[in-house]
A and B are shown apart, each in its own frame.
Chain A
């Protein structure tokens, strides 16, 4: 594995701290000991590959069995790049979200809002050779949660991405511009630097809007880029 690169450390303020007291569920779920510092090896620098043959794309979440889900139809597109601006091609993106009423098609969600038989809320797309992705859905509704009195999650779509290595794994959420709940949301606010927080908010994209059919949004994602210095000679040839 000579020449294998590790990935860059997180920029200060760009990632949330797991010890975020305003988000109550972190209280018993964050480690209190410092993380062990250990330079990336083949284990962290490599990662899984997913093929559309084994993980079939589902790029239209707005219909089930040919019947349209209720709600405001949206087109979400964007580009996945690394920190150096290089496209991340053919990487799998998993998506999940609440329906237009703010309810997940999930047994654990008991919010008093209707389920929609024509909306399941799970999707999967792959980036193209230039890192672009696109999917169709409906705008998810806000939903209440028990974090604090009168707590509501802003409208959001959950994203799961892999990138080039296990170190580039990213689970995040896309938000919508102008949402009045954003400044009140402890999950969103857990990102320390407001400039990086703001990057979780998609842009309304008139050019991506399809007339008489759906509003367009653009959400670009940056995955960690290669560290500046190459990994040292990895030594013995143990390709076990």
Chain B
């Protein structure tokens, strides 16, 4: 067995491979309930992280030719990111569990050597109460860092704090 190749930072110049279109997962005309996830990425001083790459993956709805399931967004000067996608449904967990609807998020940036992985859940979902990942986060304030808040008709907001007060929960992957 040869262990996986080491990760290295994505650095400040990764925009060379970026395409802003990737932040819109509905661009191929997928049908479903539109969802906008927006937020800001902040560092340990609460300052915006303006050169990051935020990636999104969702296992639901299943990816197909019209729905890529994957998105990528460069943070702006205010650390902001914004994805347009489709609302996910519940997906199976391990054993006989069911996971509440969620989006998977990767944070890649200068100063991050190995990608940081987190999830965005949605406030008010009944299944949040029994979600096997949320159940592992006992501190309500920390659990809240994984739950987006409603913001307008199809909008959701989730700020991600890399460090310090309100630090987001990052997940081993």
Contacts and interface: CB of A to CB of B under 8 A. Distances in A.
Interface centre among B1, B60, B173 (most CB of A within 10 A): B173
A83 B1 contact: yes
Contacts of B114: 15-18
A210 interface: no
Interface residue tally on A, bucketed by range = 35 or more
Nearest to B139: A33
Contacts of A209: none
Interface residues of B, number: 76
Interface in A122-148: 122, 124
Nearest to A108: B12
A28 B44 contact: yes
B8 A105 contact: no
Interface in A162-214: 166-173, 187-188, 190-191, 196-197, 199-200
B99 A10 contact: no
Nearest to A239: B62
A77 interface: no
Contact of A16 (B7, B44, B49, B59): B7
Contact of B133 (A17, A33, A36, A222): A36
A213 B103 CA distance: 47
B107 to A, nearest CB: 9
A84 B133 contact: no
A33 B163 CA distance: 8
Interface of B: 1-17, 43-45, 47, 49, 51, 55, 57-63, 68-70, 88-99, 101-102, 104, 106, 108-117, 119, 132-133, 136-137, 142, 162-164, 167-173
Interface of A: 1, 8-11, 14-18, 20, 23-33, 35-44, 46-49, 81, 83-85, 94-96, 98, 104-106, 108-109, 120-122, 124, 158, 160, 166-173, 187-188, 190-191, 196-197, 199-200, 221-225, 231-240
